[in-house]
Amino acid sequence: MKVTKEFVFDAAHYLPNYEGKCERLHGHTWKLHVTVETTVKEDGLAFDFVKLKQLTMDRVVNRLDHQVVNDLVPNPSAELIALWVWHQLRDLPLSAVTVWETPTSFATCSAEDYAAWTPPTEPAVVRTREEHVRAGRS
Ligand SMILES: [Zn+2]
């Protein structure tokens, strides 16, 4: 059985390798779905929503909300954010992680996508607001 929890947060990002308006620093209201898949246990639950919420808030949402995503995720496209989220929650029985950059644009990460991905090794650099604006200026 698949169990999904939905999250919404606000955060800024820019795509340094992209030619177009997304290379400039800008913000989104992001939406996130975290889906786990396990069997339904005797208590009637496959996975406790409260536990799924708490783990995702602690490891993902509270770290990204009202931040510049580039501080944690290099080149933070919706695709790479979905992979990063999977990485933070990789000890859970994940089935899918979906990240909405806009209400009509989203990327979904599967176990296959995560297995083919190499997590970034260098720690993300925490920049000042001015450095972000400079880096995200075309
Ligand atoms: Zn964007």
Give tens-digit pLDDT for 19-62: 888 899 999 999 999 999 999 999 999 999 999 999 999 999 99
Exposure b/e, 89-122, CB count within 10 A at least 16 = b: beebebbbbbbbbeeeebbebeeebbeebeeeee
> What is the CATH number for 65?
3.30.479.10
Alpha-carbon separation of residue 46 from 7, 25, 39, 90, 126 (angstroms)? 19, 40, 5, 17, 38
Q: Domain of 53?
A: 2-135
Question: How far apart, in whole angstroms, are the C-alpha atoms of residue 58 and residue 45?
Answer: 22
pLDDT of 93 higher than 80: yes
Half-sphere exposure of 116 (CA within 13 A, CB side): 7
Given the residues 28, 101, 109, 132, the one annotated as active site: 101
Question: How far apart, in whole angstroms, are the C-alpha atoms of residue 92 and residue 113?
Answer: 16
Q: How many domains does the chain have?
A: 1
Reported as a single tens digit per residue, the pLDDT across 7-18 is 999 999 999 888
- Asked whether the whole model's pTM tops 0.95, one would answer no
The per-residue pLDDT of the chain, averaged, comes to 93
Q: Is 22 a catalytic residue?
A: yes
Give distance in angstroms: CA of 22 to centre of ligand 1. 5
